[in-house]
Amino acid sequence: INDGVDTLKSENELMAFKNIFNDWFARDTSKKIKAVFKAKGMSGKPLASKPPFGYMKSEYDKNQWVVDEEAAKVVKRIFRLCIDGYGPTQIARILTEDRVLKPTAYYEMKKSGTVTVEKPYHWAQKTVVGILSLMEYVGHTVNFKTKRKSHKNKKKINNPKSEWQIFENTHPAIISQHDFD
């Protein structure tokens, strides 16, 4: 629009070159942002935009997680049920029957004081599995679990565990290493 290009007319010989330069600029910006995230992630600071259920950002340092006691009780309960032999589907059913707010509803309740999420007490097996698989509950920061192929493709690709960067004891643990294992 700023260049005054009218695609109905054939006067856009330079557009191919402008598009190449625009793509180079986007690619260069993407590389710089990736370098900043890489440096932050390698320093042991969490790259996640929000902490996992059971934690919240410290009011003094946005890169530090503190335990959200109310949500941490639910996380501890999920691990305890798992240790007692219940599977993810059974745990989800128990939490649903006991009318425990699922994480999205819990965050909404904390933020606005009301819940508009549909089925706020309906826990999914996938949510339980996600909680049970997070090493963060042991007090570790785990960075680089996923990556993106390029600046044009926003699809996340899971990195193999060998490429993860794990920084131990970076925040208070909710679950002991023994219970996590």
Per-residue pLDDT tens digits for 93-138: 999 999 999 999 999 999 888 888 889 999 999 999 999 999 999 9
d(CA 44, CA 142): 8
User: Rounded mean pLDDT of the chain?
Assistant: 89
Per-residue pLDDT tens digits for 69-90: 999 999 999 999 999 999 999 9
Tell me the average pLDDT across 157-170: 89
d(CA 129, CA 91): 10
Strand partners of residue 47? none
Q: What is the pLDDT of residue 37?
A: 83
d(CA 16, CA 5): 12
| Lookup result for tokens 């946005």 | 62
Q: What is the pLDDT of residue 104?
A: 93
Q: What is the pLDDT of residue 154?
A: 78
Contact assessment for residue 172 and residue 69, using Cβ atoms and an 8 Å cutoff: no
Q: Does 1 have pLDDT greater than 60?
A: no
d(CA 53, CA 44): 20
Handedness of CA 70, 76, 80, 86 (dihedral sign): positive
Structure tokens at 71: 């949500």
Q: Does 81 or 147 have the greater pLDDT score? A: 81
